[in-house]
Amino acid sequence: MKIQVITLFPEMFTGVWGASMLWKAQDRGIVQYSTIDLRTFGLGSRRTVDDTPYGGGDGMLLKPEPVVAAIEAAKKNDPDALVLLPTPRGKLYKQSDAKRLAAGGKGLIIVCPRYEGYDERITAWVDEQVCIGNYVLTGGELPAMTIIDSVVRLLPGVLGGEHSAEIESFQDDDETVEYPQYTRPVEFRGMKVPEVLQNGHHGEIAKWRKDQ
């Protein structure tokens, strides 16, 4: 799977892609990450990417010309890729979306707005608008990283345990979460691992976990 991110801050992604499972996924050839620096599509000698909003208001908006040119460049690399736009105006992103994107087999192009947002006309080049939660971040980079992490870990061959992604929280997009877990030592600062987990009785352990 090709994952291309359009951003004014490509350096933010180096650490995320360079560590742990996301790095392993690339190392194993399961995914190829790249960034497209939006500034290189800026207008004029100053490479301008933003302008003031029509109708007045605070802050600056990403102009449509650089964003659309960057999306078109990304599409040349991967014509069938889905274009995602992180935005508070989008549909709330859930585990089922991560599963769908991982299973879909298509590459991803993720556009990362900054400032007060973007010219709405760019959405004509976008397949899905995605909100990652009801709070406001300074840019689309952290939402993009969240989407990438949640999708890549579900790609076949990324997680170690065969079933580790199947018995996790939010499997049906509901409030169901995984049971509490413990490891050694059996007692830590006066707090003991529940007896039921120590007795080796699989039926009782399964019931306790379900109840939790």
Contacting positions for ligand SAM (CB under 6 A) = 86-88, 113-114, 116-118, 131-133, 135-140, 143
In the complex, minimum distance from the CB of residue 118 to ligand SAM, in angstroms, rounded to a whole number: 6
Our CB check for ligand SAM shows the closer of 107 and 140 to be: 140
CA 154 and chain centroid, separation = 12
Residue 141 CB, shortest distance to ligand SAM, in Å, is: 8
The CA distance from 6 to 144, in Å, is 10
Residue with smaller CB distance to ligand SAM, 93 or 158: 93
If the CB atoms of residues 64 and 88 are measured against ligand SAM, the closer one turns out to be 88
Q: Which is nearer to ligand SAM, 18 or 133 (CB)?
A: 133
List, as one string, the DSSP characters of 115-149. Answer: TTBB-GGGGGG-SEEEE-SSS--SSSHHHHHHHHH
- Tokens 């579900």 correspond to what residue? 154
> Shortest gap between Cβ of 137 and ligand SAM (angstroms)?
4
Nearest distance from residue 39's CB to ligand SAM, in Å? 17
The residue type found at 11 is E
CB of 116 to ligand SAM, least distance (A): 5
The token duo for 52 is 């003031």
139 vs 179, beta carbon nearer ligand SAM: 139
Q: Which residues contact 36 (CB under 8 A, 6 or more apart)?
A: 4, 5, 6, 7, 10, 70, 73, 74
